[in-house]
Amino acid sequence: MAVEPEPTSWALPDPSGADDDLVGVGADLAPGTLVSAYRKGLFPMPIGRRTLGWWSPDPRGILPLDGLRVSKSLRRSCHKFSVTVDRAFPRVVEACADPRRPNGWITREIAAAYCRLHELGWAHSVEVWDDAGDLAGGLYGVAIGGLFAGESMFHHRPDASKVALVGLVTILSREGEIHGDADDRLLDVQWRTPHLATLGVVEVSRDTYLDRLTRAVRLPAPDTLSR
């Protein structure tokens, strides 16, 4: 079970009715602030080097659990790798934060904040390993009830990040089947990029996202993502 952190001392903005994807600046990255933000439909991303922004995109990218597109080549790749959960969270975050990646945004402070959140049971990683036992790819995000808010993914081998996504969807779908609430579970990917669109990511309005979020966070968290 995740450990509820100390409540945040910040008054985080209400994203409903905001005019822009960026709905607030400032605050901190304490566990209580992060958990409160995700429950409100917000996530942090820096603006430049020193300013912390809080975002709620409109429209929002989500991946319906029954909408993942798995091509024949991706299906073959799934058989080439093994998938684990929470075995190497710091390594996954480190790989996602590699400064050599284009448009990198994960600072040392953000990486440390999510590692703290992982220690409390809120942040999780999905790792993909090759036959040699090397970390080939992965992703990490935040799980609150039936919400999984994806933060970043990486690959060192072709298709490895996609295999991690397939593994995550499998976990979330299985839990939805067990509890009969698959339609209310929510896999958030922030924005729909052309790459994510090929995997089945769709866009919903902010109002729709916030409505679904209210239901999702009340659901039981997947056992595989509970510690």
CATH number of 60-225: 3.40.630.70
pLDDT at res. 206: 98
pLDDT at res. 226: 56
Mean pLDDT of 83-90: 97
Mean pLDDT of 83-92: 98
How far is it, in rounded angstroms, from Cα 165 to Cα 173? Answer: 12
Find tokens 């979330």 and name the residue: 172
Helix 108-119 vs helix 89-96: angle between axes, to the nearest 10 degrees?
Answer: 160
pLDDT in tens, 147-183: 999 999 999 999 999 999 999 999 999 999 988 999 9
pLDDT at res. 49: 75
- Please name the helix (run of DSSP H) or strand (run of DSSP E) that holds residue 84, with its range, or none: strand 82-85
Residue ranges of the alpha helices (H) in the chain? 31-40, 72-78, 89-96, 108-119, 160-179, 194-197, 206-216
3-state helix, strand, coil in the chain (%, to 5): 35, 25, 40
Q: Which of 215, 218, 197 is nearest to 62 (CA)?
A: 197
pLDDT in tens, 174-200: 999 988 999 999 999 999 999 999 999
- Please name the helix (run of DSSP H) or strand (run of DSSP E) that holds residue 137, with its range, or none: strand 135-144
How far is it, in rounded angstroms, from Cα 62 to Cα 172? Answer: 13
pLDDT in tens, 25-47: 999 999 999 999 999 999 999 99
pLDDT at res. 102: 77
Mean pLDDT of 91-104: 90
Residues 6+ apart with CB under 8 A from 102: none
pLDDT at res. 100: 84
pLDDT at res. 223: 76
pLDDT at res. 123: 98
Q: Is the pLDDT of residue 227 over 70?
A: no
Mean pLDDT of 99-125: 93
* CA dist 115 → 45, 121, 132, 168 (Å): 16, 10, 26, 19
Q: Are 138 and 153 in contact (CB under 8 A)?
A: yes
Q: Is the pLDDT of residue 215 over 60?
A: yes
For the chain, what percent of residues have pLDDT higher than 90?
Answer: 90
59 preceded by cis ω (within 30°)?
yes
Question: For the chain, which residues make up each domain, given as ranges?
Answer: 60-225
Mean pLDDT, the chain, whole residue set: 95
